[in-house]
């Protein structure tokens, strides 16, 4: 049975002026509509929140992670049920308890997110920023630079879909000794991180003060913000950060590491958490 995350396709492998047919493996990319159901004045209300282009699999974790990092829900205790489309996996509905009031008043945006942009369509700069429930909490994580240098190799070994397709982003959580705790992959970098955070939300393991987040790509503002929402204090990536990502990390006392490769990296903020 073919994985829901993979698609096999016959292609023409071309080298120079010669071609031959081969079977190739592609990462799946399909739309998922995220809905919430809640009660308002005693009546059940269903609201479409977002359409995201994602790699199928872990859809409940992705949806819960998205709702949490957008500040719409605050904990898994607010969730009564997760309802899915029975036939095509094209939508998922997070049903909230009757006493839960979702924070949707500031979400004045066009909720269409692509695999490359998770904040496209925000109505205002103010609506981009959300407040973490763990903002005033501080962990005590410090990590040795030699441990950090070893993380990308560990991540690569566990990027199972990437190994077959070469076309997915990954987000991974490590503890302070460099032990890999969780990896999630997706065509969307923000989706991969939402899947990680949604998984930890379901396991009641938030905040993630004492975990390091490793990203297999560049560091954008939205990824720093999602990490901030989950209480993550250290972010490392194999790619470059954007200026707004560095600003966000600086403002929220987070450690930001980019261009992590071999025994080299750039530390942009929060160098006091790195043991040399």
The residues that are catalytic are: 117
CA 216 remoteness from chain centre: 11
Bridge partners, residue 81, by sequence: 95
Q: Decide if 112 contacts 121 (C-beta within 8 A).
A: yes
Q: Decide if 219 contacts 235 (C-beta within 8 A).
A: yes
| Whole-angstrom distance, CA of residue 113 vs CA of residue 141 | 33
**Dihedral over Cα of 158, 161, 165, 171: its sign:** negative
Of 117, 139, 127, 129, the closest CA to residue 254 belongs to 139
Looking from the CA of 126 toward its CB, the CA atoms found within 13 Å total 3
Of 212, 207, 204, 165, the closest CA to residue 186 belongs to 165
Bridge partners, residue 38, by sequence: 45
Q: Decide if 55 contacts 84 (C-beta within 8 A).
A: no
Q: Decide if 211 contacts 183 (C-beta within 8 A).
A: no
């Amino acid at each position: 049975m073919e994985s829901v995350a993979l698609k096999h396709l016959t292609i023409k492998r071309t080298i120079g002026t010669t071609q031959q047919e081969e079977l190739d493996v592609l990462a799946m990319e399909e739309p998922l509509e995220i809905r919430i159901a809640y009660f308002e004045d005693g009546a059940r209300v269903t609201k479409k929140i977002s359409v995201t282009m994602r790699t199928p699999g872990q859809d409940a974790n992705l949806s819960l992670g998205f709702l949490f990092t957008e500040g719409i829900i605050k904990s898994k205790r607010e969730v009564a049920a997760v309802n899915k489309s029975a036939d095509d996996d094209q939508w998922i509905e997070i049903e909230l308890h009757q006493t839960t009031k979702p924070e949707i008043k500031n979400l004045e945006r066009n909720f269409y997110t692509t695999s490359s942009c998770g904040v496209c369509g925000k109505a205002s700069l103010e609506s981009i920023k959300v407040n973490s429930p763990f903002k005033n909490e501080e962990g005590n994580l410090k990590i040795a630079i030699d441990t950090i240098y070893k993380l990308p190799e560990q991540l690569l070994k566990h990027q199972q879909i990437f190994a077959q397709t070469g076309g997915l982003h990954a987000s991974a959580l490590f503890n302070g000794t460099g032990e890999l705790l969780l990896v999630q992959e997706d065509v969307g970098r923000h989706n991969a991180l939402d899947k990680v955070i949604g998984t930890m939300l379901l396991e009641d393991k938030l905040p993630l003060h004492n975990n390091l987040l490793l990203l297999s790509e560049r560091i954008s503002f939205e990824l720093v913000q999602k990490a901030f929402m989950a209480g993550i204090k250290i972010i490392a990536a194999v790619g470059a950060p954007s200026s707004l990502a560095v600003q966000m990390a600086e403002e929220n006392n987070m450690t930001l590491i980019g261009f992590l490769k071999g025994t080299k990296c750039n530390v942009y903020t929060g160098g006091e958490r790195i043991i040399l």
